[in-house]
Amino acid sequence: MGILEVKGVGKRFGGLQALGDVNLSVQENTVHAIIGPNGAGKSTLLNCLVGKLIPDTGSVTFDGQSVLGRKPHEINQMGISRVFQTPEIFGDLTVMENVLIPCFAKRDGSFRMHAYESIEQEPDILQKAEQMLIDVNMIDKRHMNGSSLSRGDKRRLEMAMCLVQDPRLLLLDEPTAGMARADTNNTIDLLKEIKEQRDITMAIIEHDMHVVFSLADRITVLAQGTPLVEDTPDNIKGHPKVKEAYLGE
Ligand code: ADP
Ligand code: MG
């Protein structure tokens, strides 16, 4: 049994069958990559895991408990955090404030803006947020506004906002999309560090094969809403079906 079990998940948008019959088992403490061409249904699948979409068919369980029918914040409290395809940070808040928000959200299930005003009375949370910023090398930027960060730093901050919740499962939707090579390599290093330092499972959607092959323990190839093949990176590299469907050969 994997920490995440997806069974027979289907999702239709009007006449479009975005997900057909998805079965996926993600084992604890592994990095599981989901690859596939544009429109294959990768983001739709992720949305079904975090309560943003409700599948038409099938089941999704995390650590043996169904996530279907739960609200995104409830799924978050179960131990699943998500990095979005475009960074979702608060541009007019500081780096520190951005990291404090998910701390409160995890503890209280919600966030009240005036939580900042009483932050001195929350030494544990403050310390946790500070340590997180040290871990991702952003403590020097704690007073900067989110909107003034580079794209790479926005991504890094978003990662920190997820990790500060100590998730058991981290979902990443194209974490290096739009990044220059140097930022991509920094992100790979950061994710490798996270993998080594923590008991964490990651499911990562990624276009960049360099990222996938640097990080993944298992790879599922999704094509037209259905898993085509699942295997180790070495086996995926030479797989004829993958070359045909994904690389267009
Ligand atoms: P991927 O992330 O693999 O590129 P998506 O999951 O975003 O693919 O999309 C899968 C298919 O579903 C695409 O054809 C896309 O246009 C369609 N789709 C995704 N979200 C919606 C939506 N909210 N409404 C209608 N169609 C959608
Ligand atoms: Mg997508």
pLDDT tens digits in sequence order for the chain, 249 residues long: 899 999 999 999 999 999 999 999 999 999 999 999 899 999 999 999 999 999 999 999 999 999 999 998 899 889 999 886 666 899 999 999 999 988 888 888 776 666 677 788 888 999 999 999 998 889 999 999 999 998 888 888 998 999 999 999 999 998 888 788 888 898 899 899 889 988 999 999 998 889 999 999 999 999 999 999 999 999 998 888 777 766 555
DSSP 61: E
User: For the chain, what are the domain ranges?
Assistant: 4-245
**HSE (CB half, 13 Å, CA atoms) of 199?**
4
What is the C-alpha separation between 82 and 75, in angstroms, rounded? 10
In terms of residues, how long is the chain?
A: 249
The reported pLDDT for the residue numbered 47 is 94
Angle at 156 between CA 108 and CA 199, to 5 degrees: 65
Does ligand 1 have an atom closer than 6 angstroms to the CB of 186?
no
Residue 202 DSSP SS3? strand
CB 201 within 8 A of CB 30: yes
Site to substitute for ligand 1 among 13, 34, 85, 173, most atoms within 8 A of C-beta: 13
Does ligand 1 have an atom closer than 6 angstroms to the CB of 103?
no
pTM: 0.90
The reported pLDDT for the residue numbered 111 is 65
Give the distance (Å) from ligand 2 centre to CA of residue 123.
38
Neighbours of ion ligand 2 (CB under 5 A): 42-43
The reported pLDDT for the residue numbered 114 is 64
Q: Which ligand is nearest to the CA of 174?
A: 2
The interface predicted TM-score of the complex, written ipTM, equals 0.98
Give the distance (Å) from ligand 1 centre to CA of residue 192.
29
The answer for residues whose C-beta is within 8 angstroms of residue 144's C-beta and 6 or more apart is 94, 95
What is the C-alpha separation between 30 and 155, in angstroms, rounded? 22
May I ask the CATH architecture of the domain 4-245?
3-Layer(aba) Sandwich (3.40)
Site to substitute for ligand 1 among 9, 11, 16, most atoms within 8 A of C-beta: 16
The reported pLDDT for the residue numbered 120 is 80
Nearest to 4 by CA among 73, 57, 81: 81
Q: Which ligand is nearest to the CA of 41?
A: 1
Determine the residue type at 51. G
Site to substitute for ligand 1 among 44, 172, 207, most atoms within 8 A of C-beta: 44
Q: How far is C-alpha 50 from the geometric centre of its chain's CA atoms?
A: 10
State the SS3 of 111-169: CCHHHHHHHHHCHHHHHHHHHHHHHCCCHHHCCCEHHHCCHHHHHHHHHHHHHCCCCCE
What is the C-alpha separation between 90 and 106, in angstroms, rounded? 17
